[in-house]
Amino acid sequence: MSQNEILQCRDVTVEFDGFKAVQGMNLDLHKGELRFLIGPNGAGKTTMLDVICGKVKPSSGRVTFGEKVDITKKPEHQIAEMGIGRKFQAPSIFSSMTVLENLEIAMRQKRSVAATLFARLSSEAKDRLHHQLDMIGLGDKSGHRAGGLSHGEKQWLEIGMMLLQEPEVLLLDEPVAGMTDKETDKTGELLHEIALKRSVVVVEHDMEFVRNFASKVTVMHEGKLLKEGSMEDVQGDERVAEVYLGK
Give contact residues for ligand ADP (rule: CB under 6 A): 16, 21, 39, 41-47
Question: Which of residues 76 and 81 has its CB atom nearest to ligand ADP in the complex?
Answer: 76
Q: Which is nearer to ligand ADP, 38 or 191 (CB)?
A: 38
Shortest distance in whole angstroms from residue 227 CB to ligand ADP: 15
Distance from C-alpha of 34 to C-alpha of 185, rounded to nearest angstrom: 16
Sheet holding 19-30, edge to edge: 19-30, 5-16, 60-65, 69-70
Closest separation in Å from C-beta 247 to ligand ADP = 14
Q: Taking a C-beta distance cutoff of 8 angstroms, is the pair 129, 100 a contact?
A: yes
Q: What are phi and psi of 167, to 5 degrees?
A: -70, 150
| Shortest CB 192 distance to ligand ADP, Å | 24
Q: Residue 42 or residue 148: which is nearer to ligand ADP going by CB?
A: 42
CB 164 within 8 A of CB 106: yes
CB 43 → ligand ADP: shortest distance, Å?
A: 4
CB closer to ligand ADP, 14 vs 106: 14
To ligand ADP, the closest distance from the beta carbon of 42 in angstroms equals 4
Pick the closer one to ligand ADP by CB: 44 or 152. 44
Q: What is the nearest approach in angstroms of ligand ADP to the Cβ of residue 240?
A: 14
Q: Which residue lies nearer to ligand ADP by CB, 163 or 217?
A: 217
Hey, how many other C-beta atoms are within 10 angstroms of the C-beta on 240?
21
Least Å from the CB of residue 19 to ligand ADP: 6
Q: Which residue lies nearer to ligand ADP by CB, 39 or 85?
A: 39
